A and B are shown apart, each in its own frame.
Chain A
């Protein structure tokens, strides 16, 4: 066969192939999507399947047409099932729309959590949504891929060649863990690690003074508070609660028992949230004399001994729990109030305080997402019993703050709430505790994030392998069904969310979504997805992956509604009940 005959044959074959391909590729008819469809076991296509009559004439297409995108959709029949999600729909390959049962201005912040990482639809189907199987060979769009998980010892990651963000700073990332802060610090000091993600309060100074190390403080998106049950005497008297608020020298507590950077709380919402805190509304100043006088006026019984309950668990918001409890006890003694310290087992304490059985207690809260709703709605909403009866005036403003997308309107509502909290004093906000990460001094671009995982992809160590030591082993690599930060840290190297945070801040930044918009009342959120993103296995990322990742959590009848414990805590916490859940 000579060259021209060969060329003709190849051309003929190519033309035939194109023709056949064109015949096979059907363009779906633009079918109207009903507002809701019956909940199905799996996400259902939003558009109708192509009909045989839709086949275009073969002569039209000179080249093979790309396969048409069929978007998935999952919708609740109504909003009476107990949750706040109404529908999730892949409008097209790069657009996904969430419809909520009620307005939610914090929706973008909520889905920045690692529980809302996007997995590949195919991988979800392949693994059946089983966290263990997902973790064996995790397929994500993030900067790293898992090389090996030596259970009990370490996780090793290598660069994801398909990552849309380009090259990562280190060839290899190793995450190890140590429960002992002193031991982790030794690892860093000896050069066996490049980073430790938690520095003990007592080690802040050591790290700061070591020229081989760098201390990176992390803003405290948390609150430590003294709580009351306002139904229980003597705390059913507002004046007593106000007096107690004045009796605590919060500045002394922060100065003596918190690491550098920590601040005296001016309200219940962390200072950097927008909207939320009200800098002009000052909390009660420490005034022991006035506090005592108010208690006398309120006919407070100074002979009674008041139990102060707490759990002996160290948290960023309360790094020295026993010492702080003793300090508070000593401060009350100065005005003649007898406090009996009552430490309790953590689980028991959380349960009883949540049920409103701890009249006077110490507790705190760390942000799940940086919005005031995460602090105010949870603690002072109608269903929360920790502080006793709910206050109708606060409830009214909570509704305004949580159902409006206008920042100014929301801020006005939170200003009122902050004033009311000062008036009613169901809690005494005490401190916003800082934490810190530490790096070797030779690490370039060391950054620590206040609410999201560390962006290791942009932090360059002195060697090819960057070693980070955190305080615990991840539970799995499927974060949809997990709640702890150590697990999130590992997941977030492999998977990405629609939105993330700018390094070191709580300011939203695009990740898998490049843009998003809400309707007027913030009950419908539409996200435009980043084009040309691939998963680590080479598969293209589309809106259907987003739908599948959310649908497996939302729909209890979805075969992939499995995860680790199948509780999907964050979904339940943010969006209420599950679709098709067993009654």
Chain B
């Protein structure tokens, strides 16, 4: 097992180099002039010349890459051209939002997806099965931005004034007072990794509000997360439901299930302990892939709900040709994706003793 992990980690180096080269090349291949994209359509040629010189964008592309890779090796992700801020600070601000949204949406998708899939498989060809699969197919087919706006319309406008009213956007209610943990913990001068970690914790509003004992802010944040989490989680939920149904149907036809029933075990035990556990491997694979995919930025949902996550920032950075931000975000997303896949692979071994033995 240790050898397996080490081998995967070693391969990560090559993946990393590949990601860096590809990201760098692709950002430079985006059509359009970075000066006009950044400074607006009224930028004069002289201004553009100054701009490109200042940010080294006039240099040969190889020179630019060597400078970028050199900085990266020193842990320097660079400075945003647009915001003049450290990219690590921007990452620390954006990642927690996306992480919270991903966790909540995956919790929603996994719980409801697995439940729907199991019910559908156990009650095969029944009204419940057909209903669940229609629901799942609808979920896969629905455009995210449309679903988001629809949910926001229903819960913010139609149900306005009822206990079911939910905010249509933002992370917390405007004007809510929640000081940064850097300030609360007196670490405003912190630098490096320490600053990055505290910033991350501080920007996890759920964590920060709990630490500061602000329960009302915590509840407010949760209420703001409900609609985006459902929106993001609907497609994965549908995929998980269909995958669970298939895996369960396969497991339920196996001989060991017949044996378990013949032994006189309770149907619940047969389904959950024997069938479900054996069906888990493909389900976990799907959940893992979906989780990685969501972490890479629920772009549409973040935009629809005006959430300050990595998706919205990445799109903004692409449009404004903010190369350091695009590169850093894509690299981080790619790494997260690779790590999640590694974790999924490892979970197979835990779930299936035969893989562990191999």
List chain A positions with a Cβ less than 8 A from chain B.
130-132, 150-154, 156, 172, 174, 176-180, 182-183, 186-187, 189-193, 345-348, 350-351, 354, 368, 465, 467, 473, 475-476, 483-484, 564-567, 569, 572-573, 577
- Report whether B174 and A132 are in contact in the complex, using a CB–CB cutoff of 8 Å: no
Given the complex, which residues of A lie within 8 Å of B308, measured CB to CB? 150-153
Given the complex, which residues of A lie within 8 Å of B312, measured CB to CB? 152, 179
- Report whether B174 and A174 are in contact in the complex, using a CB–CB cutoff of 8 Å: yes
Interface 9-residue window, one of B42-50, B62-70, B247-255: B42-50
Chain B interface size band reads 35 or more
Cβ-based interface call for B352 (8 A): no
How far does the alpha carbon of A351 sit from the alpha carbon of B41 in the complex, in Å? 8
Cβ-based interface call for B245 (8 A): no
- Report whether B38 and A565 are in contact in the complex, using a CB–CB cutoff of 8 Å: yes
Given the complex, which residues of A lie within 8 Å of B160, measured CB to CB? 190-191
- Report whether B46 and A577 are in contact in the complex, using a CB–CB cutoff of 8 Å: yes
- Report whether B44 and A564 are in contact in the complex, using a CB–CB cutoff of 8 Å: no
Given the complex, which residues of A lie within 8 Å of B82, measured CB to CB? 475
Given the complex, which residues of B lie within 8 Å of A189, measured CB to CB? 156-157
List chain B positions with a Cβ less than 8 A from chain A.
31-47, 50-51, 54-55, 81-85, 90, 93-94, 97, 145, 149, 152-153, 156-157, 160, 167-175, 303-306, 308-309, 312-313, 316
CB distance from B157 to the nearest CB of A (A): 5
Q: State the 8 A-B residue pairs at the shortest beta-carbon distance, nearest first.
A: A152-B308, A347-B32, A190-B156, A347-B36, A347-B33, A465-B175, A174-B174, A178-B306
How far does the alpha carbon of A351 sit from the alpha carbon of B83 in the complex, in Å? 24
- Report whether A152 and B97 are in contact in the complex, using a CB–CB cutoff of 8 Å: yes
- Report whether A569 and B39 are in contact in the complex, using a CB–CB cutoff of 8 Å: yes
B50 in complex: contacting residue of A130, A153, A484, A566, CB < 8 Å? A566
Given A183-B305, A186-B153, A572-B44: A567 touches B175 (CB 8 Å cut-off) = no
Given the complex, which residues of B lie within 8 Å of A193, measured CB to CB? 174
How far does the alpha carbon of A151 sit from the alpha carbon of B306 in the complex, in Å? 12
Number of A-B contacts (CB under 8 A): 142
Q: Is the interface of A mostly helix, strand, loop or mixed?
A: mixed
CB distance from B294 to the nearest CB of A (A): 18
- Report whether A569 and B47 are in contact in the complex, using a CB–CB cutoff of 8 Å: yes
Given the complex, which residues of B lie within 8 Å of A473, measured CB to CB? 316
Given A156-B175, A351-B36: A192 touches B170 (CB 8 Å cut-off) = yes
Given the complex, which residues of B lie within 8 Å of A351, measured CB to CB? 33, 36
How far does the alpha carbon of A124 sit from the alpha carbon of B23 in the complex, in Å? 38
CB distance from B131 to the nearest CB of A (A): 30
- Report whether A566 and B33 are in contact in the complex, using a CB–CB cutoff of 8 Å: no
- Report whether A186 and B149 are in contact in the complex, using a CB–CB cutoff of 8 Å: yes
Given the complex, which residues of B lie within 8 Å of A174, measured CB to CB? 174-175
Given A191-B160, A192-B174: A131 touches B149 (CB 8 Å cut-off) = no
- Report whether B33 and A348 are in contact in the complex, using a CB–CB cutoff of 8 Å: yes
Given the complex, which residues of A lie within 8 Å of B41, measured CB to CB? 346, 350
CB distance from B27 to the nearest CB of A (A): 14
- Report whether A183 and B168 are in contact in the complex, using a CB–CB cutoff of 8 Å: yes
Given A467-B174, A565-B38: A152 touches B313 (CB 8 Å cut-off) = yes
- Report whether A465 and B174 are in contact in the complex, using a CB–CB cutoff of 8 Å: yes
Can you name 9 A-B pairs with beta carbons within 8 Å? Answer: A152-B93, A152-B313, A183-B305, A191-B160, A192-B170, A350-B36, A476-B84, A567-B47, A569-B44
